[in-house]
Chain A
């Protein structure tokens, strides 16, 4: 069964706006990762946050993690048309940080 569940399932915004996606998971984790996928191709790793971290930034991305609520959020600031993609959260529960469990993803559409 899916570990992570993203919310919303779909999001449509204008260029320049911010996009926020949320992820919930069920069990304790080693880390949580966010990936982007364009049109059914391979996934691109965006950012990883460890279970003992609360917030992390990478360029226009900001990820938060609340282990007490078993939830995470991904914020993309100043969105661009090129950000149009599906975004997945994935959790790694084992010590090796492998065997990722993915959510069903949020489809983001950014229009110019």
Chain B
């Protein structure tokens, strides 16, 4: 079956702009999470959606937001981009039960200039 699909793969934006990243989870996976990966901070949890509801949120400013649609597809939005937002953004999906691992997408590499 198809894996987790993230679009776009690469993105270059200017400071102050906003960006929307998209994620299509594995069919049947209702839990979708987003992570930010940077060389300095490593992998950090952004938020998790389950059945269109944000169930958990990491320690990120309000400029970072997300949503999930009825087909489980998810988007994350970053407004007023800063240089420090340059990172690999990873989306992951899993089955609803607790003891299953995540399937990750290949990520969106965002560069803010």
A99 to B44, CA, bound (A): 9
Asked if A105 contacts B101 (CB within 8 A), the reply is: no
Given contacts A43-B92, A96-B31, A96-B48, 18 further A-B contacts (CB under 8 A): A31-B99, A35-B104, A41-B107, A42-B4, A45-B103, A45-B104, A48-B101, A94-B56, A96-B98, A98-B48, A98-B94, A99-B45, A100-B35, A100-B102, A101-B45, A102-B43, A102-B44, A102-B45
Contacts from A to B (Cβ < 8 Å) = 2, 30-31, 33, 35, 40-45, 47-48, 50, 88, 90, 92, 94-105
Asked if A88 contacts B43 (CB within 8 A), the reply is: yes
Kindly provide the distance from the CB of A59 to the nearest chain B CB, expressed in whole angstroms: 15
Count of A-B contacts judged by CB separation below 8 Å:
78
Asked if B102 contacts A104 (CB within 8 A), the reply is: no
Q: List 28 A-B contacts (CB under 8 A).
A: A2-B42, A30-B99, A31-B99, A33-B101, A40-B107, A42-B90, A42-B107, A43-B104, A48-B99, A48-B100, A48-B101, A90-B43, A96-B48, A96-B96, A96-B98, A97-B99, A97-B100, A98-B33, A98-B48, A98-B50, A99-B58, A100-B33, A100-B35, A100-B102, A102-B35, A102-B43, A104-B42, A105-B42
Q: Which of A99, A101, A103 has the most CB of B within 10 A?
A: A99
A102 to B35, CA, bound (A): 10
Interface size on B, residues (CB 8 A): 30
